[in-house]
Every structure is written in C-alpha cells, then in structure tokens.
Amino acid sequence: MSQDRFHSLYTHGFARVAVCVPKLKLADPRHNARETLSLLRAAHEQRAVVALFTELGLAGYTCDDLFHQRVLLDDCEAALAQLLRDSEDLPILGVVGLPLRVDDRLFNCAVVFQRGRLLGVVPKTYLPNYGEFYEARQFNAGFNAVSDEVTLAGQTVPFGSELIFQAEDQPLLKLHVEICEDGWVPIPPSTYAALAGATVLLNLSASNITIGKASYRHELVGLHSARCLAAYLYSAAGPGESSNDMAWDGHGLVYENGTLLAETERFAQDHQLIYADLDLERLLHERMRMTTFGQTAGRHRDALAGWRIVSYRAELPTEERLPLRRYVPRMPYVPANPAQRDERCREVFNIQVQALVQRLRAAGITKLVIGVSGGLDSTHALLVCARAVDLMGLPRSNILGYTMPGFATSSRTLDQALRLMAAIGCSSQQIDIRPSCLQMLKDLGHPAGNGEPVYDVTFENVQAGERTSHLFRLANLHGGIVIGTGDLSELALGWCTYGVGDHMSHYGVNASVPKTLMQYLVRWVAETGQVGEAGSQVLLDILNTEISPELVPGGAEGQQPAQSTESAVGPYELQDFNLFHLLRYGYDPSKIAFLAHHAWATGDDAKYTLAEICKHLQTFLRRFFPNQFKRTCVPNSPKVGSGGSLSPRGDWRAPSDASSAAWLAELERNVPQA
C-alpha cells in the first residue's frame, strides 16, 4: 500500500461529513442557492463526502403563507435547477431543503443530489402544529403522498421517507434523511432507517431557540445516535430567518453513537461549516456485537419491507493523504479531562471494592492474604483490600500482607512494600523465598541450584511459583483468600506465570484494569489524601519506580530494578492502545497503526514513529494470540469498564490455539513501514 493511501482516512473506514448553516435571505431562493453552492464547494475542498443544510433552506423556513405563492415555489425549483447545474463538477453529496408540489399537494422536502444529478426527494413525515408551529397550515405530511417518484429539474427520482442512499464504493456509508420534527417524535423515521441499515442519519431542521432547548437538542440527538448505533447530523436554521415571533441560533451537531464530534458556534452572524470524521467501521462493529440490534430489526421486518436503496458513487479520495480531523485519545482507558479522570478513578475503585466485599460476605471470609511487592499492581490491590475491610467493619489487621524478596528484589521495592503496609495498617510479614527456591532449583537439577548464574525462564518462574504457593498455603493456614494483583495489560500480553504463579488467586481485583489506568488510580488515591501523608509519599515513590518482575539479579543495590518489563513487551501506553482497539472494536492491525500514528506520531508532542508503532504492534499480536490459554482459566474478577475484559466468562472467548499469522500479514501488507 502506498504512503498516501495508508494515510488517507477513507482507507480505514472513515468518512468526512459537513454540517452547513447558511446565512439566508428570506424568500430569495436564488441568493440562497448561491450561498448553498459556496458552502458545498468549501466542504468539497476539505474532502467531505456529505454536506447537510437546513430545513427549507432554499426559501427560508419562516415564509409562512408565502409558501402558497406560485412565484416563491417556482423560484425555489428554478434555484434548485441552477444549483444542480453549478455543482456538476462536485462529487460531494448535498442535502438541501425546499417546498415542492407533488400530487397537487405541498410538501416540506429534502433533496439529495450529487454532481448535478438528483438521487431522491424525501418529504417531512410529521408536521408540528402546536405552540409556535403551524406547518399543517401550508404543508401535507409525507405519509399523505400518493406518488413514489417525482420529476424535478427534468429528472425522475424516488420520492418518499423510506429511502436509504448507499455509496457503492463504501458500502458502510448508508444515508437516511429526515426533517426536524421527524427526529422529535416517539419513533422517528430514522429509527426504522437504522434498522434497515442506515449508518448516517441526517436531519434538516429549522428549530427556533428558546431557553434550555440547546441542551435538549444535545440529549435528543446524542441518545438517538446511541440507541440507533449510528451517526446523526443535525443542522438548525440560523441568520436570515424572520424574527417576527421567534429567534434562531444556527445550532449544528454531529454525534456518533452517543459521542459529540462537532458543534457550531450558536448565534453566529454569518454562515457556518463544521466537519467530523465518522468511523463507519466502528458503527458496523457495534451493530454486530449488540445482537439485540439485529433482533429488533427482525421483530420489525414487516415495517422494513418497503424500504428502497438508492445507489451512487461517493468517489472517495483514497489516494490522497488525508489525516483525521478527529480526537483519538492516546490512552483510551483514561479520560484526558482531569475532572472526568477523577470520576473514572472513583468509579473503578468503587466497583473493585464492592465486588470484593460481595465475594468476602458471600463466602463468609474475613481474612485477606496478599503479596505486596512494592510495585504498582499489588499496591493498588492492597488499597482495594483496605477500603473493603473498612466497609465491612473489620480491622485492617485482617489483611495479611506478605512481602517475599527473591534473588532480584531491590532494596527500593522492599522498602516501598514495608512502608506501604505500615501506612495502610495491615498485618505485615517478610518471607525470604530464596532458600525454598534454591531447594527447588536443586531438585530440578537446574544449574542455579548450585550457584551458577543461569537466569532462564525456569529460574524466573520458580520464584513466581514459590511466592504464589506460599500465599495459598498461608490462606489455608489463616482461613482467608488470596487476592490476585495482576492486571488486564499483563493478561493481554501473557506477562504472568501460568497456574502456580501470579496468574492464579482466589479473587483477582485488578484483572480488568489496564496498566495505564492503574497508574492513575494509584495517583488518584495519593492526591486525594486517602492514606495519609506518609502513605501518599510511598504511593508516589512506587509510581516513579521502573515496572519490573524483579526475577533476574543485576543492578546496583537500591537503584531501579534491573529488569524492565516494557523493554520486553513494549511500552504499556502503546500496548494498552492496541489492546483497546483490537478488543473493543475488532479493528484491523493497519487501522490500529493508523490511529496510533494519529494519536502518538503527530503534533509537537509526537512520541513514536510509525516504524516504532508497527514494531510494538507486532509484539502485541505475537504475544496476544498464543497466550489465550492463560486467559481461558483466569480467576473470578469484576469487569470495571466498557473497554473490555479478558475473562472467558465476561467479554472474551477465543481458542487457545488460534494463529496470529493473518493479523501479522494484514499489518505487513497494508502499512508501508511494517
């Protein structure tokens, strides 16, 4: 694949759309058509493939009884014909509003066109006739139409509300159009459109502004896009509409599955144009994943039988380098906004604590056994344990904390483990596992049992297994349960010793918490003063310690641990990024690389090159698939977020003997530097 093609958003299932709020002249269709054409060209220059305009935009919504004047109606059709001629060179699909005479009735319509060719006409289904609205005075409801075709500007095209406009060169781009009130009724036409396959829902609106209405629009559009698992574009009338009895704020919105992507500046005095890059592949994945979406479509198959598909070519600019105009968070598990991040930490912490309390109460257990290494994961697990016993009215001495130094334990982490347990106020004991490890190594006939410096995987796993063995037998002795400390990132990468190592526990509180979020959880506890001044200081010290299994000797006493986990498995911030997009959305590796490049390799704070991104993504793929056997039998643990869990009883079920070859080949084939 060429560099330009890889760096085009259209290669990776995205589509750029535009919402236009023109500055109108009331009852002047020719001026409004020129304004429409200008905005349409501007949207095309930014390589958008869809441009949405406002309700009755060629005339102006507030013409009232002028809509029954033939001069205005003829001028609207003439202005549309001129707009079609003037846009013959534009591949962008436009959606504009105007009044149209069909079957001797007047309809409030949206016209869909491209390159001077009409694709279809959609009448407004529901007419408001309450409050300040009197549309039934001038217009007929769409369901009163007799014809299913209309001839306009010399072209005969489909007419009706049950139309889906589908791009032949991007089958995921399926558009449905509704008009203003249609989106406010209990069952909008776009609900059925989504069930019929539409992924992008368009609403031409007038929508005058009153107190609180803008917030309600957000709620309405956002929730509707989430419920329909679709994108929703909304364009409300702005400058130029009559202020006889109403005011207009020109509110344009783009939502995707409940997430706001773009919004106009309200009350602007000139026209506005906003863009958003929609992830069509994400929408498809959500619909496949949420099986009840398909069940709903099946339940209403009779209502969907009459829907018609109108095909066209979007002429996607896939050979141009087009970076995303979309925020892609570097750390998808961690909100960038500090207030949201604090709330996320509080929520995750409470989920973990509640789950542990339930497990202890259900089992009638009052003692918790935990290995404390002085590292990140066991630190957070200990914090969860402390809060759990507090809620149960138990003394913190019921937490039996053990630090078990081995051949590579640094004085730094040992000191941190002891200081942490003292700050928490749990029971604290130190067990040197080196004698029992040496005995096992001798029994195995391993050279290290005789003092030889052979530091292979057996040498490492003997220590991991010995620690876990001690913890389980201590739990037997004291009538407690072993609290697992391993996290989601380690499970994804297989960075845990299987069965008799840190892979196993009676209950794993951290198993669906990724490493990047774990760091913020610990920092949140420190910064909110939940463990006192001494406790906060040791938490900050732990956060500044190299992430390491500490199983291979080396390095100066008291310095950072000799081993670096991230030098073996790659940076956790990148691997968590890869995990999220593979697990949550099922993206191809090339799309993950494209997103990672956008997030991590652009801007003044760029951190990784595309080559580095691909290298670590290859590491992730090579480790993720063959380590499924470890995830197939993980201990019970609470799911904490929508980003996913790897428990076979939760989000992820997969064969342990699947090959990663296809994923690696896709990356190699479609990323220039892979």
| Distance, first Cα to last Cα, the chain | 11
Tally of CB atoms within 10 A around 153: 18
CB contact at 8 A, 254 and 19: yes
Count of residues making up the chain: 674
CB contact at 8 A, 163 and 176: yes
From CA 390, how far away is CA 383, in angstroms rounded?
Answer: 11
From CA 514, how far away is CA 521, in angstroms rounded?
Answer: 10
Which stretch of DSSP H or E encloses residue 76?
A: helix 70-86
Degrees to nearest 5, angle at CA 85 with 81 and 86? 115
Which sequence positions are flagged as catalytic?
55, 124, 180
The bridge status of strand 155-158 relative to strand 149-152 is antiparallel
- The whole-number pLDDT of residue 557 equals 54
Q: How confident is the model over 545-577, as pLDDT tens digits?
A: 999 999 999 854 556 687 899 999 999 999 999
Under-50 pLDDT residues of the chain: 556
pTM given for the model: 0.95
The CA-atom distances, in angstroms, between 53 and each of 23, 45, 73, 180, 431 are: 11, 17, 19, 12, 71
Q: How confident is the model over 276-312, as pLDDT tens digits?
A: 999 999 999 999 999 999 999 999 999 999 999 999 9
CB contact at 8 A, 486 and 508: yes
From CA 435, how far away is CA 307, in angstroms rounded?
Answer: 75
- The whole-number pLDDT of residue 479 equals 97
- The whole-number pLDDT of residue 2 equals 85
Residue 324: exposure state from Cβ atoms within 10 A (0-12, 13-18, ≥19): buried
For residue 425, is it left (φ>0), alpha (ψ between -120 and 50) or beta? Answer: left
- The whole-number pLDDT of residue 642 equals 80
What SS3 string covers 588-651?
CHHHHHHHHHHHHCCCCCCCCCHHHHHHHHHHHHHHHCCCHHHHHCCCCCCCCCCCCCCCCCCC
- The whole-number pLDDT of residue 47 equals 98
Which stretch of DSSP H or E encloses residue 380?
A: helix 376-391
The pairs formed by 519-526 with CB atoms below 8 angstroms and a separation of 24 or more are 519/376, 519/543, 520/334, 520/341, 520/344, 520/345, 521/345, 521/348, 521/349, 521/380, 522/376, 522/379, 522/380, 522/383, 524/341, 524/342, 524/345, 524/346, 524/349, 525/349, 525/380, 525/383
The bridge status of strand 272-279 relative to strand 259-263 is unpaired
Tokens 């595309």 found at: 610
**Coil, strand or helix at 297:** helix
- The whole-number pLDDT of residue 350 equals 97
Q: Which residue from 96, 99, 108, 97 is spatially nearest to 70, judged by alpha carbons?
A: 99
- The whole-number pLDDT of residue 644 equals 82
From CA 49, how far away is CA 16, in angstroms rounded?
Answer: 6
From CA 214, how far away is CA 236, in angstroms rounded?
Answer: 11
> Please, how many CA atoms are within 13 Å of residue 42, restricted to the half-sphere of its CB?
17
- The whole-number pLDDT of residue 37 equals 98
Handedness of CA 273, 279, 284, 286 (dihedral sign): negative
CB contact at 8 A, 52 and 5: no
CB contact at 8 A, 123 and 162: no
- The whole-number pLDDT of residue 554 equals 80
Q: Which residue from 604, 43, 171, 579 is spatially nearest to 595, judged by alpha carbons?
A: 579
From CA 186, how far away is CA 191, in angstroms rounded?
Answer: 10
**Coil, strand or helix at 96:** strand
- The whole-number pLDDT of residue 499 equals 85
From CA 550, how far away is CA 541, in angstroms rounded?
Answer: 17
From CA 264, how far away is CA 235, in angstroms rounded?
Answer: 9
* Residue 571 amino acid letter: P
